[in-house]
Structure 1
Amino acid sequence: MNRNIAIIGAGSWGTALSISLSKVGHSVKMWSVFKEEVDMINNVREHIDKLPGVLIPDGVLATNDVEEAISGADAIVMVIPSQTIRANAKDISKHIKNGMIVVSCSKGIEESTGLRLSEVIKEEMPQCEVVALSGPSHAEEVARDIPTTVVAASNNLKAAEFIQDIFMSPKFRVYTNSDITGVELGGALKNSIALCAGISDGLGFGDNTKAALMTRGIAEITRLGVSMGARRETFAGLAGIGDLIVTCTSMHSRNRRAGILIGQGKTLQEAVNEVKMVVEGVTTTKAAFELAKKKEIIMPITTEAYNVLFNQKNAKQAVADLMMRDKKNEVEVLDESVWM
């Protein structure tokens, strides 16, 4: 059945999802705060800045009016920077009906509260059902119909299945998962590890180093996630190790690109300015560092990333300190009240 979908956010990911949804027959209204972006999408039928060369189907309409975007929508898809989620959800709340399904496609943790984005949305829109859509999914590839697989997660399995039905296509496969905590944390925390992978590349290190970062990184993500109520097995899936692999290894990853620049000697601000896109891993690293302290979880890679990003620690020294930590046994203890 064809549906009416509202996309809140017209960046690369919002545009890619709009294209994908339109191709399977849905009517899409995409909201942007920027008039020039709306005009470009409606008139040029291309997002020249974010997805050059990709045609936007006629079934996608862009608007500056958020009420117009969500009027008559069967689902609202939020694809905006994580730190703007609360303000936008608050603004939208007065326009939506009870039981509306809101899809969170952003990946991050609210810096001021440490809340997952679905929790932020639910605080501001208690009348809605929230689904998190996450997994290894670069916008540049989704927009070009490269086969991609993601997870729709929700405490309400019927809501997740509804979104699964809407998004499924021969080029975009969707699984469901009831562990929204794990799916969101996997999608958010991998950005911090991807920054580290980029720093490693910028320092001139090799595949051995990156493999170690990814492997020990997913161990850290899992430790923190389980302490927050997530299921361990979620981090072995698409939203965990799957998303971590693609974000740490691809030049599509803005987090990895920013990390490369930092490893090459640029300051954090210089790196973010050069990437010219929101680097979610920066605020996520800070949030993860604070959560780890609060939960008393040992996260050595995250700690060193925090020190490099915010305390101007030398990146090479951070790597040396990681390598020379106290000796450990690799096998994690089964008693999850003890974190090694």
Structure 2
Amino acid sequence: MSKQKIAVFGAGSWGSALAIVLADNGHEVRLVGRRAKQIDEINGNHTNNTYLPGITIPTGIKGFTEAKEALCDVDAVLLVVPSKVIRETVRSLLPLLSKKTPIIHASKGIEPSTHKRVSEIIKEEGLGSDQMGSITVLSGPSHAEEVALRQPTTVTVASEDDEAATYAQNLFMNQQFRVYTNPDLVGVEIGGALKNIIALVCGVTNGLGYGDNTKAAIMTRGLAEIARLGVHMGANPLTFSGLSGLGDLIVTCTSVHSRNWRAGKMLGEGKTMEEVLEQMGMVVEGIRTTKAAHELANETNIDMPVTKALYSVLFEKIDPYQAAEELMGRVKRNEVESLYDL
């Protein structure tokens, strides 16, 4: 693939790690962040120690604080910002893009007020239309810290446009970062968003002192309810047995690298949601997504007991022990039922 000019919005750990992958592949990367001090560090010291301590930022990455400058003559845009600022980010970019430009996003979440997926928000705000280029999502089991260390990683790119998915695959694919394509945009986005809920719950169980049996139960039953809601929204059920379903669930629910798992552990240890967020100092996407998924489950009459239990802890201030007891004390069920009635 010829050298491409890529503007990456979001200079946190994941945005920086993906920028490193692109730079390793010989592309010109413009990494956009809001804090001048951080961008000066990237350009001057070739480090981003707040988010990727100990990692050298390749010289093929240049930091920017001004979107207009970063977008000059770009071939593609990569959005790696928290889902809560996707709308305002897209609104700011739209008047600056003068040509049809592929939009790739690696953000995970569902908007509570509208219950829209990230690609739906991007398109609603004016990008991803026929005139402005296609939308592709990149998702899968991938801790930023390990990607930045060039450890073997596999992810999925999904788009309604096969050519767009292949373009993204070619941008990122290398010996350490293997990229698959998937036509199921809905399923990949749903899997990537809802696994953060299950990771939070797994963290809570660790904080309560429970062990591997409990974690295995939460992950397995959590995957079942992710698939239930995803299929209802139009996803292919096979997607949830792949990288953006089972794979992402494993890596996020079992690792100390996972901010959702760490946040859940603090909740299980007795901290309030406000205390957790203050101590984390970073966005915990699963909290916001829990609210959206709980509302969606109620609206669609989809059974999501793990999500419901977490919602009661986060937003109804139910004690985690009580929520766990209520989850275990539900009526008896048959495990092997239809996908819709699990």
* TM-score calculated relative to the size of structure 1: 0.98
User: What secondary structure sits across from 2:282 in the alignment?
Assistant: coil
Name 1:333's counterpart in structure 2.
Answer: 338
Alignment of 1:58-73 (within 5 A): 58-73=59-74
Taking the aligned partners of 2:71 and 2:246, their CA distance within structure 1 comes to 34
Alignment of 1:243-282 (within 5 A): 243-282=248-287
Taking the aligned partners of 2:111 and 2:94, their CA distance within structure 1 comes to 18
Whether 1:18 aligns to 2:19 is: yes
User: What secondary structure sits across from 2:55 in the alignment?
Assistant: coil
What amino acid does structure 1 have at the position aligned with 2:86?
I
Name 1:170's counterpart in structure 2.
Answer: 175
**155-164 or 64-73: bigger deviation:** 64-73
Deviations 1:85-113 (A, max 9, x none): 01000110112245311111011111211
Taking the aligned partners of 2:35 and 2:238, their CA distance within structure 1 comes to 40
Name 2:138's counterpart in structure 1.
Answer: 133
Q: Which runs of 4+ in 1 moved over 4 A?
A: none
Alignment of 1:12-51 (within 5 A): 12-51=13-52
Whether 1:118 aligns to 2:123 is: no
What amino acid does structure 1 have at the position aligned with 2:238?
E
User: What secondary structure sits across from 2:138 in the alignment?
Assistant: strand
Name 2:110's counterpart in structure 1.
Answer: 109
User: What secondary structure sits across from 1:239 in the alignment?
Assistant: helix
What amino acid does structure 2 have at the position aligned with 1:216?
R
Note if contact 1:189-1:221 (Cα within 8 Å) is conserved in structure 2: yes
Q: Name stretches of at least 5 consecutive residues in structure 2 with no aligned partner.
A: none
Pick from 315, 318, 323: which aligns with 1:318? Answer: 323
What amino acid does structure 2 have at the position aligned with 1:210?
K
Name 2:299's counterpart in structure 1.
Answer: 294
Task: Kindly report the root-mean-square deviation, in angstroms, between the aligned alpha carbons of the 2 structures.
Answer: 0.9
Alignment of 1:153-232 (within 5 A): 153-232=158-237
Taking the aligned partners of 1:97 and 1:186, their CA distance within structure 2 comes to 33
Name 1:145's counterpart in structure 2.
Answer: 150
What amino acid does structure 2 have at the position aligned with 1:304?
A
Taking the aligned partners of 2:113 and 2:36, their CA distance within structure 1 comes to 30
Q: How many residues align?
A: 337
Q: Name stretches of at least 5 consecutive residues in structure 1 with no aligned partner.
A: none
What amino acid does structure 2 have at the position aligned with 1:214?
M
User: What secondary structure sits across from 2:96 in the alignment?
Assistant: coil
Note if contact 1:152-1:176 (Cα within 8 Å) is conserved in structure 2: yes
Taking the aligned partners of 1:52 and 1:100, their CA distance within structure 2 comes to 32
Name 2:3's counterpart in structure 1.
Answer: 2
Taking the aligned partners of 2:71 and 2:231, their CA distance within structure 1 comes to 35
Taking the aligned partners of 1:293 and 1:155, their CA distance within structure 2 comes to 28
Note if contact 1:191-1:281 (Cα within 8 Å) is conserved in structure 2: yes
Note if contact 1:202-1:262 (Cα within 8 Å) is conserved in structure 2: yes
What amino acid does structure 2 have at the position aligned with 1:43?
G
Deviations 1:296-340 (A, max 9, x none): 101000001000001010111111111110000001226x4xx34
